[in-house]
Amino acid sequence: MNNKKNKDFFNKVYQIVEQIPYGKVTTYGLIAQRAGLKSSARMVGWALNAYAYSTALPCHRVVNRNGELTGKNYFGTPTMMRELLESEGVQFIDDRVDLKRFLWTPEEVL
């Protein structure tokens, strides 16, 4: 992908992440699909890394398709992502977000 397309995709990712409701999570794959590149979940991770997991975006609300906190190493401590989610009422089954209860699907964001 060229730089313009990357920038456009990244901006779409940021717009979607901004919309994730308090107390909900979504997945890299659902964000990629809504941003127009269905098989680009990994690129969503790159976009969030490029944003440096800033506190301006609720990046802690993005998990992998199994509800695992694969982005947790990009926060201040390895437990911060889970702590932020739990402070919003998000519950876990073992080390995975209970996606049946807390998954948000970005349908009409863009």
Question: What's the start-to-end Cα distance of the chain, in Å?
Answer: 21
Are 18 and 51 in contact by the 8 Å Cβ rule? The answer is: no
Active site annotation includes 47: no
* Of 59, 62, 63, 69, catalytic: 59
* DSSP three-state, residue 25: strand
Active site residues: 59
